[in-house]
Chain A
Amino acid sequence: MQKYYSDYTDMDFLNDDFFIESMNHPTKKTERFWSELIDKRMIDVNEFISANMLLDSIRKNRHTVPTSRKNQLWVKIDKSRLSIEKKNKKIHLYKYPAIAACCIALISVAILLLFDREPISENIKTDYSEFQNLTRQPDLSEIRIIAQDRKIDINGPEAEIKYDSAGSVSINNLEMNPEEATQQVAEITNNQLQVPYGKRATLTLADGSQLWVNAGTTVIYPTLFGEKNREIFVEGEIYAEITHDEDRPFTVKTKDMEVRVLGTSFNLSAYEDETFNRVVLVDGVVNIQQDETSTQLSPGQLYTHTQNASHVMEVDPEIYTSWRYGIYIFKNEPIENILNQLGRYYNVKIHLPAKSSGIVCSGKLELKEDIAHILSNLSQIGSFNYGAKGNDYKIQFY
């Protein structure tokens, strides 16, 4: 054995299980063993010391955390497991299989929420599918909030909806009954804001982020956000000013794209009946995920996605965000897009010829005027005739 160690270098020592074990957990026996070798000069003492020194400095490098921090984490773990336990107990209370099955479904949702703490799942299309059936409300005439089973309709062309950090709601500065701010598991409840054509709303979320919600738009959002991320679903057009929170990235999902941000302002347009998706960044950084490619925008950039192609270009963001002030600015915009947009604002049906006219317009429209007035002005620049029948407008280019 002694002979075995005689020509060991420090590296050899560090590769030796017995050496490591006896330095990490010295016993009388191992101490005697090594001191004998040293005394008898049966090992290279310099190499032995060098190995010891390296081992020592590595072991000094062990990280420690304060006990308070460790205890805090335990409290969190304990809480998480209690919430699993509670749900588990409920199963035994029910004897009827159908009800039990229903409960199991609920529990698996709860567990999913606990474990699936990663920011976003990959399959964009499936996640909000159950909501997507609900979003089609063609006959909707007032701005509507759906919270759990309650429906609240708000009269008037515009509405201001505010959630505070405790999850309670005020509409047009009128505080709702505090009992309506659900006390139990408020963060899991998703609400829906439906803004019909011809109306607009502003929505302040629980984290302070502000959304301007354009006509013909549905937003699905939670009363309170989770600890790990913030996520909403949008069909239509919003302008968003997202409160910065590094620990909780904000994701805006649409039917086929995902926009991720930390804190920033941007405009997003993803109407079901429009052939394009658009994101315009005002400031900050956003990352757009669509068809498995990710695109990242700098301020002043416009992202457009049509069919299977997407591209990014520099624009004046004001053009795309001025609608929230009741002004619609457009620049080199196909006349069809402008007319569709107007149809949404004024809640009228605009019938366009199937073939695109190829006409592009630039200008500025005050949206407070009535639609007939705007159309008659526009028809001169856009070279079209139009006929009206109630709320239906038929366009014909010449």
Chain B
Amino acid sequence: MPPQNKFYSEAVVDPLAHMYEVYADDLYAYGLSILPDINMIEDAIHDVFIDIYANEARLNKIDNIGLYLKTAFRNRLFLLLKKSRRFVDIIKDMNDLADEKDSQSDWIRNEEDENRLQLVNGLLSGLTIHQREAIHLRFIEGLSLDEISAILRINKRSVKSLLQRAIQKIRKNVEKFPVKVQ
């Protein structure tokens, strides 16, 4: 039997609204773990949901809608980010043309770029985007390593080492910025 998306059963009056109700918080939280630009995050969420609406037939066949949404959202967000970066870069560092070219080719692999989006203080300071994402998906959303590897499009071993390094940094940060635990 082909997997049926529970949001498209007869009982749901407005599947898209229902889906939004269930997943919007998660997507916001995931987006904010990647970058602090809430407008861009909302644009990405908007686009993903409209895309779902335009392609309902295809979506009906997807069983893990949460995973699908996260992946689609992430792709969209990075695309928007990449497109906007040209602009942001111009404003931020006016004299850095060489760097601008780098960011156009493949910014995510560019260590310098990642560092620019790092947080200055707090628990997750010093973590790269990838590390923050992995931490979010693993510990806040409770996803399995397989699911994370599907979303981040890296293999399971890389997810593991990503998490390992991230936790080590977090542990150091806990000492630096103590958090109260009961």
Residues of A within 8 A of B (CB): 10-11, 14-15, 17, 20-21, 24-25, 52-65, 69-70, 73-74, 76-78, 80-81, 84, 111, 114-115, 117-119, 247, 249, 260, 262, 285, 287, 294, 296, 298
Contacts and interface: CB of A to CB of B under 8 A. Distances in A.
Given A54-B167, A294-B100, A64 B142 contact: no
Nearest to A11: B167
A12 to B, nearest CB: 11
B12 interface: no
B97 interface: yes
B50 A114 contact: yes
Contacts of A65: 25, 28, 32, 38
B77 interface: no
A37 to B, nearest CB: 20
Interface in B66-118: 79-80, 83-84, 86-87, 90-91, 94, 97, 100
Interface in B2-20: 16-17, 20
B164 A296 contact: no
Nearest to A120: B83
B72 to A, nearest CB: 13
B63 interface: no
A247 B46 CA distance: 17
B163 interface: yes
A74 B47 contact: no
Interface of A is mostly: helix
Contacts of B163: 14-15
Interface of B is mostly: helix
B90 A74 contact: no
Given A64-B25, A262-B91, A285-B90, A58 B170 contact: yes
21 contacts: A14-B139, A14-B163, A24-B139, A53-B174, A53-B181, A54-B170, A58-B123, A58-B170, A59-B140, A63-B28, A70-B25, A74-B20, A76-B42, A77-B45, A77-B50, A81-B16, A84-B50, A114-B50, A294-B86, A296-B94, A296-B97
A17 B144 contact: yes
A27 to B, nearest CB: 14
B171 interface: yes
Contacts of B168: 11
B24 A55 contact: no
A268 B84 CA distance: 24
Contacts of B17: 74, 78
B142 A76 contact: no
B1 interface: no
A342 to B, nearest CB: 36
Interface of B: 16-17, 20, 24-25, 28-29, 32-33, 38-39, 42-43, 45-47, 49-51, 53-54, 79-80, 83-84, 86-87, 90-91, 94, 97, 100, 122-124, 135-136, 138-140, 142, 144-145, 160, 163-164, 167-168, 170-171, 174, 179, 181
A294 B103 CA distance: 13
B18 to A, nearest CB: 11
Nearest to B174: A57
A84 B43 CA distance: 17
Task: Give the one of A14, A24, A56, A58 with max B CB within 10 A.
Answer: A58
Contact of B138 (A20, A64, A115): A20
Contacts of A247: 39
B94 to A, nearest CB: 6
Nearest to A82: B53
Contacts of A73: 24, 42, 45-46
A294 B139 CA distance: 42
- Name the 3 nearest CB pairs between A and B, nearest first: A63-B32, A57-B179, A24-B142
